[in-house]
Amino acid sequence: MWQHLAWAAHLAIGVQGLHPKWLDHKVGSPSTGRIYTSAEEAYEYIDDALHHMLSIVEQIEYWLSPEVQESAFGTPGNSGDITAIEHMANRLVGAYEGCMDWAIDLRSARPPASLLKLFHLAADYANNPVHQFRTFVDLAVSEFDKFSEIDWNSQEGIIKVSLPLTISGDAEVARQFAVERSRLRASLRRS
């Protein structure tokens, strides 16, 4: 039990520590970004950036895999490793931050004007993973907080908690991105 409480606490503290960045992400705040001098260069960057976002999501899936969880929490009836629990939570929070940084980077880029909309639509791909991770952490805290209400002297067996986290995209953002990307590809071919 303590393992999961510690994990949820580390996740909650990590997410809370990133609250200012989340507020910036939520309003679409840009920073100082890279200047792209050609449409081709900027267009190639979008492809690379989308691959990077996939690797961030894969990190979340890795750190939530049963093997990693068992190595941190321990097998049922065995104590976990607090250092591994904290490390796992920190890596998950790092991936959450990576999603926001990724979006800020795209919103901050200065591509040719014809690609600006594509960059902003690409940045919107991070919105669902960020929201889904925050919801997951809130659920983890809520579920594990229930442990404090249990009369452990009257409980028998193992308590199971299910914390599903599915990172998914926004179909409307994907549709808008595909339309804009197709329009730009046709435009680049004509040039």
Q: Tell me the C-alpha to C-alpha distance, in Å, between residue 120 and each of 40, 103, 104.
A: 17, 8, 10
pLDDT of amino acid 176? 94
Going through the chain in order, the beta strands assigned E by DSSP cover: none
With CA atoms as reference, report the closest residue to 109 among 41, 51, 26.
Answer: 41
Q: What is the model's pLDDT at position 158? A: 58
Kindly tell me the sign of the dihedral angle through the C-alpha atoms of 65, 67, 73, 78: positive
Q: Which two tokens stand for residue 140?
A: 């983890």
| pLDDT of amino acid 118 | 95
User: What percent of the chain is helix, strand and coil (3-state, nearest 5)?
Assistant: 75, 0, 25
Crossing angle of the two packed helices 39-63 and 116-123, in degrees rounded to 10? 0
Mean pLDDT for back-to-back runs of 10 residues, the chain (191 residues) = 87 96 91 88 92 94 92 85 95 97 94 94 94 94 79 62 80 93 84 66
Predicted TM-score of the model (pTM) = 0.87
Token pair recorded at residue 180: 């804009």
Q: What local confidence, expressed as pLDDT, does residue 75 receive?
A: 86
